[in-house]
Structure formats: C-alpha cells, structure tokens
C-alpha cells in the first residue's frame, strides 16, 4: 500500500502517530506561511497542515492527487471541527508528494454548486467524487449485499441468464445485435429474463433469483433508462401468497437496514378495481387522502348533458375555493395538456352551498345542495369533476388528486406507504379491435377465471400482483400458466397464431411438454428501489453511468454511427430480417436520429 491510514478514519487516539495518507485536495487555504489542505479519500476528509517555503510556493490546486507523510496531532483547543468526524485532529505534513495533477475543473467537486446534469454526466467520474453521488452508489451496493443475504437465507439459486438471446415478450421494442458469423441474423438483448426463469423452473431449480440487466428500446421518458436492473425472482410449487412473502422479506430487510423503517406486515392489499375506483390509479399514493367520489348515481337523472355519461366522478381540493381566477384557469390548461377537454369545478361556500364554479349554473337546485355532502367537501373547498368513459375520467381525477397533493403540500415526505395491488385485468383492448396481455402472455388467470377467460376476456382477472411504494410501482409479478391448453387459449385471445407462437417462443412451449411445475415469480425495479432508499430524485442518481434524459450518454458519446467496414463485417445489410431492420432504424443515414443541438 502506498498509504498507512485512510484519511477519514483518524481520531484523537491517533495523535502522535506517523501516517502516510493518499487522496485528493478537496480544499486548499493559505494562511501566511501555513497551508491548510482538506485531504479527501473514499473514507472521508482530514485537515492537513503544511508549513514552510515549499508549501507556500507550491501550486497545489483542487483535485490534485497527493500523498502526505506527517504526524497526527490534536487540534489546538478552539480549532476543533465538530461537523467533521476527523475534526478533533489534524495531520502536520513533513512531505506532500503530487501523484498527479488536475486541470481546472468543469465544476467544483466540493460544495453544493448547481451543475447541469449533462455536465455532471459528461464528467461522471468527477461527479462520483462528490459526496452525494458516491453515497448513492454505496447505498445501492449495500442494498445488493442485503438482497443477496435474504435470497441465500431462503435457499434461492443465483443464475445468470444470457444477454444475447431472442425477443422476450414484455411488450417493448428490442435492442438488436448483428451477428458477424451469421450475416443477416440478429440477437435481441433481453427485455427481461422472463422466459429463461420459467425454463429454470422446468429445469427443477425451484427457486431462482438474479440482479438482471434488462434492455427495452422505448421512447425516452423522464425517468426511464434503455437499460435498467431488475431483481428477478421465480419459484415453483407456490401460490401468490408465497411469492408475496418472499418479496415482503426483501422489502422489510432493505427498508429496516437502509431507511430505518419497519414495514407493516403483511402489507395492505387492494384490488386493481378498488385502486382505480378510489384513487384513479393502479399505483395509488396512500400518503394522503383525497379519494375520488363516484357521482354516477348522484347524477343519474341530471338534465346537464355533460354529466349524462357512463361515469361521473369528483375529487376535492381542500381550501380550493380560495384560488384565484387565474389559478382556476390554470387547471383548465393542466387538464388540456393531459388530453382532456377541461376540468369542471364547483366552489363550496361558508355554509356548504355551491357559490360558483364552471358548472354551478348547469345543475338543478337539488343537485347543488347535496353536492358538498355527496363528495365530502367542506366549506372553502373546490370540487373537480370528470365525466365520460370510466377509465379515462378516473385517470384524469387520479392525476388531479396528485396535483392537488402537490399544490396543497399534502404529502408527508418522510412517510412510507406500501401496498400490493392485486387482480389486475388479464387483457386490455389493443386499439385495433383485439386484445393484448396487460402483464405478459404467461400470466395465469385467477382460478375462478381459468375456464371462462376465453369467452369474456374484458372481465378476466389475472393472478397478478404489483407492489407500490409512495405512488410508484416498484415491482410486479404473477402466477404463470403451466398448462399448454390454457397457454394456447391465451394466445388465441391475443390473436397469436400457433405458427407465430412457435416462432417466437416455441422453445418454451416445447419445454412445457416435459412436466412443467406450477410456478410464479416477481421482478422489482432495482434502480427505483435504490432511488427510494437513497432519497434520490431520479433513478439516474443511483446508476453509476446512466444515459441522460435524452437517452444519449454524454460521457462516451454513445450511441455513435459505425464505419462502413464495421457495417460490412457485421453483415448488417445481408438480406434476412429486413423487417426488423426497418423497425430498428438500422438503415437510416448516420446522424439522422440525433436530436437537434
Ligand atoms: N418479467 C416481468 C417484468 O419484467 C416480471 C415478472 O412477471 O416476473 O415485468
């Protein structure tokens, strides 16, 4: 080792010891003949005192990498720094050796300077020197240790599944990889290890887990990454309850060790139908109330045309009657930006009467007088309405509920709310008159739907479960189909012919001919879990080298065009697979897809 001690570990009892330290110059201050250096390494910071001509003349700048030989001593009384773990001591340097110099920095490593994310990501290695970024990565690492402990205690087998494989049916686009030795053929990067984990169950491993990297070529959204990590789990001979218990063990361990929070066990459960009806969301944030009210019955005989709809609902904004005209107009803008026509509202006066709002005059006296009671609104509140198809209206009210919480400061940021949302629909309409799987096509129906789902796909419920934390889905899974006849029936519902099914996952169907066990599993979004544990604002903060929000990597410049030679060698232009090529945009001219600027 080129040092004897780590800077952040020095304490009062070290006084008098000769030490050799190595690290970076976090700060340097000149005080007439004495130079103070805050020396930082991975363990923390210690103050170094360097005297003499060499010290004063030396051009030692921030982030130089140095080695310091010196003696630890107690700081002079009154000079201790209680904010620093090493604040009782300092190191009096005999020698400071520069191991490497640093050029002027693109942004200060120390201090809380606001730096744009693109710049932070371009110089991610400097960003990682900053304490908050390093802390987030350490929390992620600790979380992985804890996860591995829990899985080992439960007898799970850690298996690595392939990255170079073929399409997995998670419903997104695949990233494709050309294969030089078989020109015109392509691997797909896995969207999840779903098929492999099911094969491992056929293989008799019974309990599998993996921290698995997944790749989905989706449109870039604020907090999405084209590659992300999942805790992927699969178990044989289990019911939903068994999977949920293992999942709760993981969450309990992570949150108690890393967030100091004991989750209530068992975690509350809610059906999908209830979550959507009460909160307008399949991932409700339960840290605050403001539940939706269903007013469809209340307005059953209304003369008001807009409310003569399959569903009428409302959500109440506490104190919302005090909003200015501009704020109320702002809500209309907000609703339109979400694709709605507007957001009808009524204001509640001091004795519970409707005093105004966009719809007050359209309602009958009886409708007006009972409205506050029907919605639970108090004097001074504002009632927002949505009417139309139930799903869309509830979604709008659910979004309004979150917006209300935000504007009224209703969320206790220190609180945790976990719940399971169970029994989601198996299928949803695909917009072209057919059906598609809500989860993936290997999800089993609830037992009571096992025989009737083919006849009634719209009502069929899946034996599926999603775990939600503070209004974000952090994991989801299901009991799987293991009977070929039932699998065939699901493919029929989603319009997948025998030949298509065989060509996409014939290998799984083949495996299911050899005694597949009943099985089920779950996957957690590991980046999101770590983000919550680290108290980070985005998943990018807990990924060492994330893509920027645009999907580009400011550090390496990826993705980049390839050379004509690479292109030839990879066999990209060989004939088979022309359709997938077009989808993936492979024949676009280099640079064509790069966003302006
Ligand atoms: N494969 C699913 C996913 O990635 C999770 C699961 O069903 O276990 O979302």
Cα separation, 404 vs 43, in Å, equals: 43
Model pLDDT, residue 576: 62
**Cβ neighbours around 214 below 10 Å, total:** 24
Expressed in angstroms and rounded, the spacing between residue 151 Cα and the centre of ligand 1 is 18
Expressed in angstroms and rounded, the spacing between residue 291 Cα and the centre of ligand 1 is 30
Expressed in angstroms and rounded, the spacing between residue 285 Cα and the centre of ligand 1 is 22
Query: Over the chain, what is the mean pLDDT?
Result: 94
pLDDT digits (tens, 9 = 90+) for 114-142: 999 999 999 999 999 999 999 999 999 99
User: What is the number of the ligand 1 atom nearest to the C-alpha of 521?
Assistant: 8
Which run of H or E residues covers position 25? strand 18-31
72: Cβ contacts below 8 Å, ≥ 6 apart:
10, 14, 15, 16, 17, 19, 89, 90, 91, 92
Segment 10-19 mean pLDDT: 98
Cα separation, 486 vs 508, in Å, equals: 14
Segment 32-50 mean pLDDT: 95
Q: What is the pTM of this model?
A: 0.92
| Nearest residue (CA) to ligand 1, atom 1 | 194
The DSSP-derived string for 421-481 is EE--BSEEE-SSSSEEESS-TTBPBPGGGTTTTTT-TTT-BBSEEEEEETTEEEEEEEEBP
Pairing of strands 344-348, 382-388: antiparallel
**Cβ neighbours around 394 below 10 Å, total:** 23
Cα separation, 282 vs 65, in Å, equals: 51
Expressed in angstroms and rounded, the spacing between residue 283 Cα and the centre of ligand 1 is 16
Q: Is the dihedral of CA 124, 126, 130, 135 positive or negative?
A: positive
Model pLDDT, residue 582: 60
Residue 5, Cβ density class (10 Å: 0-12 exposed, 13-18 middle, ≥19 buried) = buried
Expressed in angstroms and rounded, the spacing between residue 477 Cα and the centre of ligand 1 is 5
User: What is the number of the ligand 1 atom nearest to the C-alpha of 194?
Assistant: 1
Q: Could you give the angle at the alpha carbon of 203 between the alpha carbons of 423 and 476, nearest 5°?
A: 25
User: What is the number of the ligand 1 atom nearest to the C-alpha of 234?
Assistant: 8
Cα separation, 235 vs 209, in Å, equals: 9
Low-confidence winner among 29-33, 87-91, 341-345 (lowest mean pLDDT): 29-33
Model pLDDT, residue 55: 79
Mutation test of ligand 1: which of 161, 169, 424, 440 has the most ligand atoms closer than 8 Å to its C-beta? Answer: 440
Model pLDDT, residue 595: 45
pLDDT digits (tens, 9 = 90+) for 96-119: 999 999 999 999 999 888 999 999
Expressed in angstroms and rounded, the spacing between residue 170 Cα and the centre of ligand 1 is 8
User: What is the number of the ligand 1 atom nearest to the C-alpha of 230?
Assistant: 4
Where residue 586 falls among pLDDT bands split at 50, 70, 90? low
Report the percent of the chain where pLDDT is more than 70: 96
Expressed in angstroms and rounded, the spacing between residue 225 Cα and the centre of ligand 1 is 17
pLDDT digits (tens, 9 = 90+) for 141-175: 999 999 999 999 999 999 999 999 997 777 889 99
Expressed in angstroms and rounded, the spacing between residue 483 Cα and the centre of ligand 1 is 19
Q: How is residue 93 written in tokens?
A: 């340097």
Where residue 53 falls among pLDDT bands split at 50, 70, 90? confident
pLDDT digits (tens, 9 = 90+) for 404-454: 999 999 999 999 999 999 999 999 999 899 999 999 999 999 999 999 999
Expressed in angstroms and rounded, the spacing between residue 194 Cα and the centre of ligand 1 is 6
Pocket, ligand 1, Cβ cutoff 6 A: 170, 192, 194, 230, 476-478, 521-523
Model pLDDT, residue 231: 98
User: What is the number of the ligand 1 atom nearest to the C-alpha of 192?
Assistant: 4
Model pLDDT, residue 597: 39
393 neighbors 445 (Cβ within 8 angstroms): no
531 in helix, strand or coil?
Answer: helix
Long-range contacts of 153-160, Cβ-Cβ distance < 8 Å, separation of 24 or more: 154/207, 154/246, 154/249, 155/207, 156/207, 156/208, 156/209, 156/233, 157/200, 157/205, 157/207, 157/208, 157/209, 158/208, 158/209, 158/210, 159/200, 159/205, 159/208, 159/209, 159/210, 160/210
Q: How is residue 525 written in tokens?
A: 């979004």
Cα separation, 551 vs 548, in Å, equals: 5
Beta strands in 299-410 (DSSP E): 311-317, 344-348, 354-357, 382-388
Measuring CA to CA, which residue among 318, 317, 298 is closest to residue 308? 298
| Nearest residue (CA) to ligand 1, atom 7 | 477
Expressed in angstroms and rounded, the spacing between residue 187 Cα and the centre of ligand 1 is 20
pLDDT digits (tens, 9 = 90+) for 346-364: 999 999 999 988 887 899 9
Expressed in angstroms and rounded, the spacing between residue 203 Cα and the centre of ligand 1 is 19
| Nearest residue (CA) to ligand 1, atom 8 | 522
Low-confidence winner among 79-93, 186-200, 215-229, 485-499 (lowest mean pLDDT): 215-229
User: What is the number of the ligand 1 atom nearest to the C-alpha of 478?
Assistant: 7
Segment 361-380 mean pLDDT: 94
| Nearest residue (CA) to ligand 1, atom 4 | 192
| DSSP assignment letter at 195 | H
394: Cβ contacts below 8 Å, ≥ 6 apart:
276, 277, 280, 292, 311, 313, 386
356 neighbors 383 (Cβ within 8 angstroms): no
The DSSP-derived string for 570-584 is TTTTSSTTHHHHHHH
Is 80 exceeded by the pLDDT of residue 496? Answer: yes
- Find how far residue 530's CA is from the centre of its chain: 8
Model pLDDT, residue 577: 55
229 in helix, strand or coil?
Answer: strand
Expressed in angstroms and rounded, the spacing between residue 443 Cα and the centre of ligand 1 is 10
**Cβ neighbours around 311 below 10 Å, total:** 20
pLDDT digits (tens, 9 = 90+) for 524-551: 999 999 999 999 999 999 999 999 988 8
- Which residue has 């198996």 as its token pair? 426
Mutation test of ligand 1: which of 174, 195, 197, 523 has the most ligand atoms closer than 8 Å to its C-beta? Answer: 523
User: What is the number of the ligand 1 atom nearest to the C-alpha of 522?
Assistant: 8
Segment 263-286 mean pLDDT: 98
Is 80 exceeded by the pLDDT of residue 226? Answer: yes
User: What is the number of the ligand 1 atom nearest to the C-alpha of 233?
Assistant: 8
Measuring CA to CA, which residue among 379, 353, 357 is closest to residue 368? 353
**Cβ neighbours around 244 below 10 Å, total:** 21
104: Cβ contacts below 8 Å, ≥ 6 apart:
61
Is 70 exceeded by the pLDDT of residue 591? Answer: no
Model pLDDT, residue 171: 81
Report the percent of the chain where pLDDT is more than 90: 87
Model pLDDT, residue 594: 47
Segment 576-581 mean pLDDT: 56
Model pLDDT, residue 589: 62
pLDDT digits (tens, 9 = 90+) for 65-92: 999 999 999 999 999 999 999 999 999 9
Expressed in angstroms and rounded, the spacing between residue 438 Cα and the centre of ligand 1 is 11
């Amino acid at each position: 080792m080129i040092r004897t001690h780590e800077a952040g570990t020095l304490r009062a009892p070290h006084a008098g010891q000769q030490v050799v330290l190595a690290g970076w110059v976090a700060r340097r201050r000149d005080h007439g003949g004495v130079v103070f250096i805050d020396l930082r390494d991975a363990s923390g910071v210690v103050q170094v005192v360097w005297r003499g001509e060499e010290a004063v003349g030396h051009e030692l700048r921030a982030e130089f990498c140095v080695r310091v030989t010196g003696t630890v001593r107690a700081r002079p009384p009154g000079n201790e720094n209680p904010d620093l773990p090493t604040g009782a001591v300092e190191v009096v340097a005999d020698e400071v050796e520069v191991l490497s110099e640093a050029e002027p920095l693109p942004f200060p490593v120390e201090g809380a300077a606001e730096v744009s994310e693109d710049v932070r990501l371009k110089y991610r290695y400097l960003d990682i020197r900053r304490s908050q970024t390093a802390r987030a990565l350490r929390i992620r690492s600790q979380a992985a240790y804890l996860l591995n402990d829990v899985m080992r205690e439960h007898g799970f087998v850690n298996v690595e599944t392939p990255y170079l494989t073929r399409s997995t049916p998670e419903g997104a686009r695949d990233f494709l990889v050309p294969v030089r030795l078989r020109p015109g053929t392509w691997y797909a990067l896995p969207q999840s290890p779903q098929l492999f984990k099911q094969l491992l169950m056929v293989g008799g491993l019974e309990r599998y887990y993996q921290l698995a990297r997944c790749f989905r070529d989706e449109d870039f959204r604020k907090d999405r990454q084209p590659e992300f990590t999942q805790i992927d789990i699969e178990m044989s001979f289990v019911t939903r309850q068994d999977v949920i218990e293992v999942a709760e063990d993981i969450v309990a361990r992570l949150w108690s060790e890393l967030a100091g929070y004991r989750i209530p066990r068992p975690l509350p459960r809610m059906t999908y139908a209830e979550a959507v009806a009460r909160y307008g969301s399949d991932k409700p944030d339960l840290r605050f109330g403001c539940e939706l009210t269903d007013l469809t019955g209340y307005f059953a005989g209304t003369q008001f045309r807009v409310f003569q709809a399959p569903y009428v609902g409302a959500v109440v904004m506490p104190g919302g009657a005090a909003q200015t005209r501009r704020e109320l107009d702002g809500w209309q803008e907000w609703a339109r930006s979400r694709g709605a026509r507007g957001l009808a509202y009524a204001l509640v006066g001091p004795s519970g009467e409707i005093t105004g709002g966009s719809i007050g005059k359209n309602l009958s006296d009886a409708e007006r007088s009972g409205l506050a009671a029907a919605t639970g609104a108090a004097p001074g509140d504002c009632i927002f309405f949505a009417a139309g198809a139930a799903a869309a209206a509830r979604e709008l009210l659910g979004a309004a509920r979150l917006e209300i919480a935000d504007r009224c400061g209703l969320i206790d940021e220190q609180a945790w709310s976990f719940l399971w949302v169970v029994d989601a629909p198996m299928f949803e309409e695909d917009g072209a008159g057919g059906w598609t799987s809500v989860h993936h096509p290997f999800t089993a129906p609830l037992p009571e739907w096992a025989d009737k789902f083919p006849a009634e796909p719209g009502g069929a419920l899946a034996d599926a479960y999603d775990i939600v934390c503070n209004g974000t889905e952090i994991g989801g899974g299901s009991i799987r189909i293991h009977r070929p006849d039932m699998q065939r029936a699901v493919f029929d519902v989603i319009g997948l012919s025998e030949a298509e099914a065989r060509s996409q996952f014939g290998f799984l169907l083949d495996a299911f001919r050899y005694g597949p066990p009943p099985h089920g599993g779950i996957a957690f979004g590991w980046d999101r879990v770590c983000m919550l544990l680290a108290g980070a604002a985005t998943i990018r903060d807990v990924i060492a080298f994330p893509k920027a929000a645009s999907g580009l990597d400011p550090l390496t410049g990826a993705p980049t065009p390839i050379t004509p030679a690479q292109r030839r060698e990879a066999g990209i232009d060989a004939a088979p697979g022309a359709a997938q090529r077009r989808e993936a945009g492979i024949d676009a001219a280099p640079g064509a897809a790069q966003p302006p600027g």
